[in-house]
Amino acid sequence: MPSQSETGSDFISIVVADTTRIHTQLLADAISGDPGLQVVASAPSSQELLSAVVRVPVDVAVISYSLDDRPGQGLEALRQMRSLRPEIKGVILLESSRSQDILECFRSGAKGIFSKHERVESLRKCIRCVHDGQIWARSVELDLALEALATSPVVRATDHEGLELLSTREREVVQYLAAGMTNREIADALGLSRHTIKNYLFRIFDKVGVSSRTELLYLTMNSPRPGAADHGDAESFSAILKEAEAGLPWAQLRVAEHYWHNNNNHPDPVTAYMWFLVCQRTMTAVEEQLELSKRNLAVTLSPHQLAEAERRAAEWLNDGKKKPGFVAEPHEKKVTPAGATEVPPRRRASESLALVK
């Protein structure tokens, strides 16, 4: 999507994601006090953030380190956002100055690190600097990052393209590792045992020529990620295409966007639409798996527990419909092009990434 510089608009478009709806709205109001900054979406959750960046043009995303009541979830949201919209620049709002948090912010692709204890005027300046292509951080934060790089161990990679040798599952393990997750957390996220994750790590170590998690993290931190690459980079696009063919929805969406808007300045709308359909079907399969898991869990709950869960869900959804960034259930039947297979519409805000108008 076009940025301010490309469209010639007289403002910077911003999406804001803070810990709660109230905090998000207050922050959006404070930023909007500058006529040159326009908040086009408020998203108090990671799913609403990803939905917003797909639906509306955004130049800069201001994201809290903690989202969805989980510390560090804002960084995961930033990584996913950069996979979908690599041109959007991210600013992370931090409450502390722990060296590990700062390194994770930079590793996740943040262009700006801003303390929540600073004045809003400084945040506006931060947004403008980041939008202009600069890096924003306090001297203490930059010192921590530089010190970490200066003291990093030497990576004994036997193959400079070692990361390219990893399988799709191995790359998933590396991505979760880079997010700071433990073996147990990675196992839970992938539905595997800790022993299996440990074996994956040993194989990864052998392929890239390292001997520890620390060396692997520094190798990945200094290597380009597919989600952060330019569309015009043939090798990076090839890596994304492999992920798409392996069935990853984010990669399928990236491939569709590539053929729609770029493809070396020769857009291919037919191939783009094909990949949009594939992405929709993939998301449908995810929905079916979700439905199966929900049914399996339902049989373990009492009628009272089920009613309470449904009440909470209805309360959350009804409240969400009144807020910016919420994608309501569509009521009109979508008309598909001749010869295309109609795909059922998504029914939840969390699935809005698969919708293509």
Q: Are residues 131 and 11 in the same domain?
A: yes
DSSP 153-190: PPP--SSTTGGGGS-HHHHHHHHHHHTT--HHHHHHHH
Helices (H), 191-344: 194-208, 213-221, 234-245, 249-261, 269-298, 303-320
Query: In this predicted structure, what is the pLDDT of residue 124?
Result: 92
Query: In this predicted structure, what is the pLDDT of residue 231?
Result: 37
Bridging pattern class, strands 37-42 and 12-17: parallel
CB 51 within 8 A of CB 43: yes
Does 188 fall in a domain?
no
Instruction: Report the alpha-carbon distance of residue 64 to residue 71 in Å, rounded.
Output: 9
Confidence of residue 357 (pLDDT cuts 50, 70, 90): very low
Domain final residue, candidates 88, 121, 137: 137
Average pLDDT over residues 237-242: 74
DSSP 32-96: TTSTTEEEEEE-SSHHHHHHHHHHS--SEEEEESEETTEETHHHHHHHHHHHH-TTSEEEEEES-
Residue 132 has a CB neighbour count (10 Å cut-off) of: 10
Classified as helix, coil or strand, 277 is: helix
Pull the structure tokens for residue 67: 């989202």
Query: In this predicted structure, what is the pLDDT of residue 63?
Result: 95
pLDDT at residue 153 is higher than 60: no
Does 94 fall in a domain?
yes
Query: In this predicted structure, what is the pLDDT of residue 158?
Result: 40
Average pLDDT over residues 314-334: 51
Query: In this predicted structure, what is the pLDDT of residue 106?
Result: 84
Does 313 fall in a domain?
yes
Write down the mean pLDDT value for the chain: 75
Does 226 fall in a domain?
no
Domain final residue, candidates 137, 172, 191: 137
CATH number at residue 80: 3.40.50.2300
20 to 69, 112, 229, 299: CA distances (angstroms): 9, 21, 32, 32
What pTM value is reported for the model?
A: 0.45
Which of 103-112, 163-172, 209-218 has the lowest average pLDDT? 209-218
Please, what sign has the CA dihedral across residues 258, 262, 264, 268?
Answer: positive
Domain final residue, candidates 108, 137, 166: 137
To 10 degrees, what angle do helices 269-298 and 249-261 make? 160
Does 288 fall in a domain?
yes
How many structural domains is the chain composed of? 2
For 254-312, how does the pLDDT look when each residue is reduced to its tens digit (9 = 90+)? 788 888 877 666 778 888 888 888 888 877 776 777 777 788 888 888 888 888 888 88
Confidence of residue 350 (pLDDT cuts 50, 70, 90): very low
Confidence of residue 123 (pLDDT cuts 50, 70, 90): very high
For 34-61, how does the pLDDT look when each residue is reduced to its tens digit (9 = 90+)? 889 999 999 989 889 988 888 889 999 9
Residue 128 has a CB neighbour count (10 Å cut-off) of: 16
Does 185 fall in a domain?
no
Does 206 fall in a domain?
no
For residue 289, what are the domain limits? Answer: 249-354
Judged by phi (left if over 0) then psi (alpha if -120 to 50, else beta), residue 340 lies in beta
Does 277 fall in a domain?
yes
Instruction: Report the alpha-carbon distance of residue 355 to residue 327 in Å, rounded.
Output: 10
